[in-house]
């Protein structure tokens, strides 16, 4: 569902550009709004959310899908935690639909899906592992890297229940905006994938904005 934001970028309290292949890590407080902006179009922003005070409570795709009765995320979607609490609500969305079924790219999946020589290509899972390794204060490890959201990524579910990675439906300047309902640690891998059309074979930067 397309829903425009009423917030203006010039009033944002925080803005940061995240190059493809890099991670983004920030606590967004309850009541604050975070926007993820697809600067050049057709990018995938692989995102994990955690309770900022207790990272064992984290975004849960299965609880979110069950509660809203739909597999796609868009404006109005409430993102549920593993404790069945609302973590964030999508309050604006100019892309229209986001995936939470396809999972994140990893050395392992790149190898099995594409070719053995793809094993050493940089992947989202590596970016998250770098994030938790460079931020020991979070007390998080590999076991905290769980199921994610792929903002802007198009993974249509076919009539017979199949999943396909299709060409993106996002475009330059499209964004998704979420209001935090609890203090949330946002961890994004701006996807470096080169083997499937999730980012048009051309990974590009995103921008993250926060309004208090
Ligand atoms: Zn990826």
Quote the ligand 1 centre to 20 CA distance (angstroms): 10
Quote the ligand 1 centre to 188 CA distance (angstroms): 10
Is pLDDT of 172 > 80? yes
Quote the ligand 1 centre to 21 CA distance (angstroms): 8
User: Quick one: pLDDT at residue 196?
Assistant: 73
57-95 pLDDT, tens per residue? Answer: 999 999 999 999 999 999 999 999 999 999 999 999 999
Give the angle 79-80-83 at the CA atoms, nearest 5°.
160
Quote the ligand 1 centre to 25 CA distance (angstroms): 16
From the number of C-beta atoms within 10 Å of its C-beta (0-12, 13-18, 19+), residue 207 rates as: middle
Quote the ligand 1 centre to 72 CA distance (angstroms): 18
Average pLDDT, the chain: 93
Measure the CA–CA gap between 12 and 7, rounded to whole angstroms.
Answer: 8
Q: Which stretch of 5-14, 21-30, 112-121, 181-190 has the lowest confidence by average pLDDT?
A: 112-121
User: Quick one: pLDDT at residue 57?
Assistant: 98
Is pLDDT of 171 > 80? yes
25-55 pLDDT, tens per residue? Answer: 999 999 999 999 999 998 999 999 999 999 9
Beta bridge partners of 210: 14, 34
CB atoms within 10 A of CB 65: 17
CB atoms within 10 A of CB 89: 16
CB atoms within 10 A of CB 6: 8
Is pLDDT of 195 > 80? no
Quote the ligand 1 centre to 123 CA distance (angstroms): 5
Quote the ligand 1 centre to 13 CA distance (angstroms): 28
pTM: 0.95
**Predicted confidence band of residue 118 (pLDDT cuts 50, 70, 90):** confident
Quote the ligand 1 centre to 113 CA distance (angstroms): 13
Quote the ligand 1 centre to 11 CA distance (angstroms): 31
Quote the ligand 1 centre to 196 CA distance (angstroms): 10
């Amino acid at each position: 569902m397309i829903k425009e934001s009423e917030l203006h970028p010039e009033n944002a309290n925080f803005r940061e550009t995240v190059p493809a292949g890099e991670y983004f890590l920030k606590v967004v407080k309850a009541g604050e709004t975070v926007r993820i902006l697809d600067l050049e179009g057709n990018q995938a922003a692989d995102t994990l959310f955690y309770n900022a005070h207790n990272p064992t409570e984290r975004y849960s795709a299965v609880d979110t899908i069950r509660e809203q009765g739909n597999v796609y995320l868009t404006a109005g979607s409430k993102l549920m935690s593993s404790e069945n609490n609302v973590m964030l609500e999508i309050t604006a969305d100019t892309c229209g639909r986001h995936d939470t079924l396809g999972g994140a790219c990893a050395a392992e999946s790149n190898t099995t899906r594409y070719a053995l020589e793809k094993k050493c290509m940089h992947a989202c899972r590596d970016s998250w592992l770098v994030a938790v390794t460079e931020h020991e204060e979070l007390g998080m490890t590999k076991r905290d890297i769980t199921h994610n959201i792929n903002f802007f990524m198009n993974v249509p579910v076919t009539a017979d229940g199949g999943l396909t990675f299709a060409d993106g439906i996002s475009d330059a300047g499209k964004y998704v905006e979420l209001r935090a309902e609890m203090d949330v640690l946002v961890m994004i891998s701006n996807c470096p994938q080169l083997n499937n059309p999730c980012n048009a074979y051309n990974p590009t930067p995103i921008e993250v904005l926060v309004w208090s």
